[in-house]
Homo-oligomer: A and B are copies of this chain.
């Protein structure tokens, strides 16, 4: 079965290998297709696209995004599905294009809420999806349906056919969706690669064949649209990595994303070529290698991968450490190796460290510190600003032009990317002859309606405000909570507790003060004494005719805030607690 699969991938387009899966009811009367982007437009990540026709809807990808500076404490950001919850009954199925978290990562948080529809994806995509779902034992079992290149799924009036796309994870696909209005092509993330690792090269024949059916609307990946020229082939990367392996005299420590399964294959293959055993470090890395090996999407010779505790049995020049942590993530394996907190490994002179990944915006400083630390400890370092040892998975300007030329769509919609990337992509499409009015450059939530003659964009957007995942809470962290967190991070908190005697209306004892993140309390005794005096004044000044607690609290807050600011130039969150006894 496995072998057939891998053989199959080579026989693209061969009719006899196509399966047809039917789903829902067919209804071919026509009124225009609604395209509803719930994520992935104006941002890199959180990809989710809904296609709707009458009472039928299908979804392409349900991805997550990673939090940014303004969302402290948040684990993930996921699409807002209020629009879908109202239209739950319409949903016939979800198409998953590939196994990256920005395409499948929000499934555990969303699927149950939209009626647990069936999922369609390749073996690896489903493998990663399934493994992740295991971390959510309370969620219902997923309805997984494996598809292969060329498979066609019928869901109501939609038919979805998968075509192989190259990216930096294997087993990824674009889709052509037959609809009552015409064919819609969704490229998903892609690059053209004639010499990829671990995957068949881009088949322009297949793309041409798809285009020959007529493309009403092309939705294409914009992530690389601001980069000139063409993306690097994985072959170039493998060659450059090979040079590093050839010259390395001690251990080679490679750090990359666990999701870059093709890169992982490169590193394993090179280790075998140069007689090195491979130690795998990091939970995500171990899991993904296991899934991909089981599907024969990562190939290793017997005995190449050894347990960490066996590494000491080999000389340094026979060892590769394959690790996570290329972004300087504090808890990743590479950081523990650097900070001497790893159980088995410490960095040493003679080691060669290879950071084979791009730097995610926001991580620049952490990666710089990582580089500095590696060099300080006397190891050699190679990173992607020094030589081409990382290729992004996204088509650049020339490839995007080619995709538009091949598909020659009637309408064009840039997807996947910051607004500036989508705008550059729209410009490319205009230059390739798509009329301006046929291009839908829109943000998340705006509905594109498309039929055989024209497109129309809704004036209003459906709700797309990001939903925060924090711990086990989904959506219970919002504007107010995040605003408070950022204020707390700025200047901390200052809690004062005053106990008032009901009868005398006077303060009992000295007020308690608790503060965190504001100032060293121990070194600020004078300030604290003054604060206590101020509180007692406020409470006591009216004597027995003293005010109500409800009036005292805001007065303490206002007066202390301005007092603390005048003394320290800081604005901690002042929380007065007034207790009557």
The answer to whether B418 touches A372, judged by C-beta atoms less than 8 angstroms apart, is: yes
User: What residue in chain B is nearest A42 (Cβ atoms)?
Assistant: B372
Contacts of A579 in B (CB 8 A): 497, 499, 512, 579
CB-CB nearest in chain B for A567? B472
* Interface positions of A from 222 to 273, Cβ below 8 Å from B: 226
* Chain B residues positioned under 8 Å from A486 (CB to CB): 489
Interface status of A461 (Cβ within 8 A of chain B): no
Q: Does A130 contact B (CB under 8 A)?
A: no
Q: Is A368 an interface residue (CB 8 A)?
A: yes
Alpha-carbon distance A359/B371, docked complex (angstroms): 19
Task: Count chain B CB atoms within 10 A of each CB in A376, A488, A516 and give the residue with the most.
Answer: A488
Task: Decide if A314 is an interface residue (CB 8 Å cutoff).
Answer: no
Return the CB mask of A357-389 against B: 1 if under 8 Å, else 0. Answer: 000011011101001100110000100010000
Residues of B contacting A499 with CB < 8 Å?
499, 579, 581
Q: Which residues of B contact A581 (CB under 8 A)?
A: 499, 508, 581
Q: With contacts A473-B570, A481-B518 known, is A495 near B492, CB below 8 A? A: no
In contact, A365 and B368 (Cβ under 8 angstroms): no
Q: Any chain B CB within 8 A of the CB of A139?
A: no
A471 touches which of B366, B524, B568 (Cβ 8 Å): B568
Q: In the complex, what residue of chain B is closest to A366 when comparing beta carbons?
A: B69
A375, B424: Cα distance in complex, Å: 10
**Are A481 and B385 closer than 8 Å at their CB atoms?**
no
Among residues of B, the one whose C-beta sits closest to the C-beta of A363 is B364
A385-B488 contact given A371-B420, A471-B570, CB 8 Å threshold: no
Assuming A481-B492, A520-B478, is B473 touching A577 (CB within 8 A)? Answer: no
Identical chains bound together, number? 2
> Please, which residues of chain B bring their CB within 8 A of the CB of A523?
476
Asked if A519 is at the interface (CB within 8 A of a chain B CB), the reply is yes
Instruction: Give Cα distance in the complex from A520 to B365, angstroms.
Output: 33
Partner of A68, one of B365, B419, B489, B520: B365
- A470 at the binding interface (Cβ < 8 Å): yes
Q: Select the residue from A420, A508, A519, A520 with max chain B CB neighbours within 10 A.
A: A420
The reply to whether A485 and B364 form a contact with Cβ atoms under 8 Å apart is: no
CB closest chain-B residue, reference A470:
B570
Cβ of A295 within 8 Å of any chain B Cβ, yes or no, is no
Interface pair B476/A485, CB less than 8 Å apart: no
Render A99-110 as a binary contact track against B, CB cut-off 8 A, 1 for contact.
Answer: 000000000000
Question: In whole angstroms, what is the CA distance A581 to B78 when docked?
Answer: 48
A577 touches B481 (CB 8 A): no
Q: Does the CB pair B471–A72 fall under 8 Å?
A: no
Query: Which residues in B have their C-beta under 8 angstroms from that of A567?
Result: 472
Contact A495 B517 (CB under 8 A): no
Q: Known interface pairs A516-B493, A579-B512. Does A569 touch B476 (Cβ–Cβ under 8 Å)?
A: no
Q: A488-B489, A488-B492 are in contact. Are A516 and B573 (CB under 8 A)?
A: yes
B495 touches A485 (CB 8 A): no
CB distance A361 to B371 under 8 Å? no
Point out the residue from B470, B517, B569 that lies within 8 Å of A485, measured CB to CB: B517
Q: Are A419 and B73 in contact (CB under 8 A)?
A: no
Interface residues in chain A, defined as those with a beta carbon under 8 Å from any beta carbon in chain B: 42, 68-69, 72-73, 226, 361-362, 364-366, 368, 371-372, 375-376, 381, 385, 418-420, 423, 443, 470-473, 476-478, 480-482, 484-493, 495, 497, 499, 508, 512, 514, 516-520, 523-524, 565, 567-570, 573, 575, 577, 579, 581
Ranked nearest first, the 9 interchain pairs of A and B with the lowest CB-CB distance are A471-B569, A489-B489, A488-B488, A372-B419, A472-B569, A484-B517, A485-B517, A72-B489, A471-B570
